[in-house]
Amino acid sequence: GLTSFALPALTSVGGHLWVYYNDALTSFSLPALMTVDSDLWVSDNDALTSFELPALTDVGEGEYDNVSVKYNDALVSFDLSSLTRVTGSVFARFNTVLTSFDLSALSSVGGFLDMTDNDVLAQCLIDALVEQVKAAEGMGNDGSIGGPNNDDCTCTEVAGVLEADCP
């Protein structure tokens, strides 16, 4: 099966971008991607341990255009650090070994932040993200949907970055 792919010159997708059901995918590279006009899904990639979309700033044109990171059994982290706006919801669910994410520029979510059922992900990181988006007055709905995530962690800011300490 497909183990990696790179599209270094791709700057925009005029519809859906779905990276899903690739059991052997360990990496992908879309370093210039700035916009996705509909959904961005990264789902059911059993060997993917991390990914980053460093230039992505904007996802969606309609209220049901979502960012969805789900069911990636080996995913430890993801980086969408330039993403500022999602017209729909942001889902990060059922990633059993996810410990970190970077959504540090996110300021506008038209729907929900649904980051649930990630067994080891610190709930305090999600709570901080909800507060970040609310502070920017960019929350379309009332915040995060349920858990469980890891409630046994404490978060502290280290050199301007929120870090979780989990037993």
Q: Is the dihedral of CA 145, 27, 80, 13 positive or negative?
A: negative
Percentage, residues of the chain above pLDDT 70 = 97
| pTM greater than 0.85 (yes/no) | yes
Pure H helices in 2-159: 123-135
Sheet (strand 50-52) strand order: 50-52, 77-79, 100-102
State mean pLDDT over 1-17: 97
State mean pLDDT over 9-21: 97
pLDDT tens digits, 43-64: 999 999 999 999 999 999 988 8
pLDDT tens digits, 118-159: 999 999 999 999 889 989 988 887 666 667 899 999 999 999
